[in-house]
Amino acid sequence: MKVMFFVRVRDFTGCEQAEIELKRPVAADGLWELLEAKFPGIAKFRSSTRLARNFAYARDDQSFSNEDEVALLSPVSGG
Amino acid sequence: MKVMFFVRVRDFTGCEQAEIELKRPVAADGLWELLEAKFPGIAKFRSSTRLARNFAYARDDQSFSNEDEVALLSPVSGG
Amino acid sequence: MMKDVRVTVEIHDGAIPPLPGVTRDDCGAVVDFQGVVRRDEHGESIAGLHYEAYRPMAERELERIARELLTKFPCREINVAHRLGFVPVGEASISVQIASAHRGEAIKFLEEFMNRMKQDVPIWKRTSQSSAQPS
Amino acid sequence: MMKDVRVTVEIHDGAIPPLPGVTRDDCGAVVDFQGVVRRDEHGESIAGLHYEAYRPMAERELERIARELLTKFPCREINVAHRLGFVPVGEASISVQIASAHRGEAIKFLEEFMNRMKQDVPIWKRTSQSSAQPS
């Protein structure tokens, strides 16, 4: 799974994207556990972050699989 | 007093403007009586006409004097 | 609040030239509106519309409405132009440009300005020289 | 209803070129909106703003929001452009052009499109390369 980081989350991880190997699909909780294992402390962004899966906002009950491109989206401020 | 006519009222009077001699200031009722005397039948436009005095809409209790420029304004349709 | 606010009103007998534009750096939103003559007017295919006005009053009303709305929706620049005479299909009969610090005021100003304009400004359109027509 | 409706979305790394314009003769209203970078951002004088995006998703969200709003406010043409990278004060970061038969739909579309855009489209602005900033 490819995971994309932007603005403050990218400042925290120090990278724009990361690869995470998923053996089986996970829900959002499982995804955040894997992220926290790779980037300890990243969980502090969870409350302000929306997850996207394959370029669309993920549903609350979304399942994420190894082929997905996931993005951690901080509150947006375009326009 | 100079009185200006537009669109359907002008079609009715056949002229763009008329002079009416006022000996003393009149209210709207008096003005319409003078107009009706000069252009018999013009009173039929009264219910759909707003009066302007000196380039601003007249108040209901407006008094009109001989120096004024008055306009009979049909429902507008600009834009 | 009203100082430093520019309002321009123009009435043109031919095509409306490009509005002056906004060059100040305190406006985060610029809204341009054009009212364009449509091919289809009340189910009838037309070549254009004829506009006439009680010109000195139309100019004053446009400015009065703009100034009045500025007290409700503070914007920084308002440029209004209305065209008279024959306006062919596809060309603009009215053009309004509004600049404000934030977009909310400019959009609300536009909405209300057009409503008020269509109520109060002594301008009339006809499909031909001889038939009057309420909007 | 949705046939014959054109939606274009563009994301630019430099200045936004003029939008394509509206040439069809069935639109009585054309609204152009520009969101412009102001000198004064949160009380601080700035030279410009840096915009970044999750680009493929930003493009899809802009189109998705436009298509969704078209079911509510039927318009005939929507052109959207957003600029990324450094946008100097006085230049546009976003440009939206809406054409509709009547002005009401175009104005409402603009209002709601901008609100939705600022909620959902993954684009972020910063006053400098290093400080993120909610809008």
Over residues C20-46, the mean pLDDT reads 89
Q: What is the pLDDT of residue C4?
A: 84
| Secondary structure class of D68 (helix, strand, coil) | helix
Q: How confident is the model at residue D42 (pLDDT cuts 50, 70, 90)?
A: confident
Instruction: Please check whether residue D112 touches C, CB under 8 A.
Output: no
Q: How confident is the model at residue D43 (pLDDT cuts 50, 70, 90)?
A: confident
Residue D61 has pLDDT above 50, yes or no: yes
Q: How far is Cα of residue C120 from the mean position of the Cα atoms in its chain?
A: 12
Residue C2 has pLDDT above 50, yes or no: no
**Dihedral sign for Cα atoms in the order C115, C121, C125, C130:** positive
Residue D129 has pLDDT above 60, yes or no: no
Q: What angle do CA C65, C69, C72 make, to 5 degrees?
A: 160
For A38, A57, C54, D22, D99, the CA distances from C43, given in Å and listed in that order, are: 66, 44, 28, 22, 20
Residues of C in contact with B4 (CB under 8 A): 54
Q: What is the pLDDT of residue D1?
A: 44
**What pTM did the predictor assign?**
0.93
| Contact across the interface for D25 and C111, Cβ inside 8 Å | no
Residue B74 has pLDDT above 50, yes or no: yes
At D32, list the tokens.
């152009």
Residues of C in contact with D32 (CB under 8 A): 31-33
Helices (DSSP H) in chain A: which residue ranges? Answer: 7-13, 28-38
Q: What is the pLDDT of residue D2?
A: 46
pLDDT, tens digit (0-9, with 9 covering 90-100), for D98-123? 999 999 999 999 999 999 999 999 99
Residue A51 has pLDDT above 70, yes or no: yes
More confident residue, B10 or C18: B10
Name the neighbours of D, counting chains with at least 3 Cβ pairs within 8 A.
Answer: A, C
Query: Phi and psi for C92 in degrees, rounded to 5?
Result: -85, 135
At A49, list the tokens.
């972050």
Instruction: Please check whether residue D125 touches A, CB under 8 A.
Output: yes
Residue A28 has pLDDT above 60, yes or no: yes
Over residues A59-63, the mean pLDDT reads 96
- Residues in contact with C82: Cβ distance below 8 Å, sequence separation at least 6, in sequence order: B78, B79, C10, C11, C12, C16, C51, C53, C58, C62, C93, C94, C95, C121, C123
